[in-house]
């Protein structure tokens, strides 16, 4: 919901850092993979109930996720880069509640519901993008991307905020997960409605 507005604040900083990283030879794909490996470190920290470390690694993962896009804009986006970015992002997102539950099994049901909700937001997002590409639809509402980015109530900024709160207030995870999961399902319903409006065949 806030991704488009936040990008106007974040992109200038990311572009400045990306300029330096590009000069030293780092590619967008390398930053994507490094960011994902840091995310794996966050999973491990969560599994061992090291919330402070997990929070630091989650934030660093998200910073690198912003930087890989900035580097791609400078070097020129590629299909492989877009593919790696979205796949590794979705894996990271799903892994965070799963590994939180590994360390705290009493939260497993709420974590499962949240991962289930992520499947709804992810599939409605990617299915729209695939059909939009076939129809030649484009948008730059969230910056220049390799695929169509459909908005929603729960996007990247909201998910990051949830992860931060999860690390800071782990004892409230279940309530937050049920609530955020419900908002994810509302996002999915809205995206399905938007897809119906955009793609329905005229008879």
pLDDT score of 20:
76
Which domains, ranges and CATH numbers included, belong to the chain? Answer: 3-199 (1.20.120.1760)
DSSP state, 154? Answer: S
For residue 5, name the pLDDT band (cuts at 50, 70, 90). low
Task: Over range 58-63, report the average pLDDT.
Answer: 94
Give the pTM. Answer: 0.83
pLDDT digits (tens, 9 = 90+) for 67-97: 888 888 877 778 898 899 999 999 999 999 9
Mark 75-91 as b/e (b = at least 16 C-beta within 10 Å). eebeeebbebbbebbbe
CA–CA distance, 198 with 83 (Å, rounded to integer): 24
pLDDT at 21 over 80: no
For residue 1, name the pLDDT band (cuts at 50, 70, 90). low
pLDDT at 99 over 70: yes
For residue 2, name the pLDDT band (cuts at 50, 70, 90). very low
pLDDT score of 144:
55
pLDDT digits (tens, 9 = 90+) for 111-168: 999 999 999 999 988 888 888 877 777 665 545 555 556 666 778 788 999 999 999 9
Greatest CA span in the chain, whole angstroms? 57
Q: By three-state DSSP, how is residue 141 classified? A: strand
pLDDT at 6 over 90: no
């Amino acid at each position: 919901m806030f991704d488009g507005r936040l990008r106007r604040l974040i992109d200038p900083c990311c572009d400045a850092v990306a300029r330096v990283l590009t000069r030293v030879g780092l590619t967008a794909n390398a930053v994507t993979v490094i960011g994902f490996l840091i995310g794996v470190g966050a999973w491990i920290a969560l599994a061992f109930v090291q919330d402070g470390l997990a929070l630091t690694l989650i934030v660093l993962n998200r910073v690198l996720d912003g930087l890989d896009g900035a580097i791609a804009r400078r070097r020129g986006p590629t299909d492989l880069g877009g593919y790696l970015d979205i796949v590794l992002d979705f894996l990271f997102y799903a892994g965070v509640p799963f590994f939180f539950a590994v360390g705290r099994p009493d939260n497993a049901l709420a974590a499962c519901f949240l991962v289930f909700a992520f499947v709804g937001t992810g599939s409605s997002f990617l299915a729209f993008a695939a059909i939009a590409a076939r129809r030649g639809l484009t948008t730059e509402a969230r910056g220049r991307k390799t695929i169509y980015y459909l908005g929603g109530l729960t996007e990247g900024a909201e998910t990051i905020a949830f992860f931060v709160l999860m690390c800071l207030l782990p004892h409230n995870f279940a309530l937050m997960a049920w609530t955020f999961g419900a908002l994810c399902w509302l996002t999915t319903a809205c995206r399905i409605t938007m897809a119906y409006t955009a793609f329905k065949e005229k008879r």
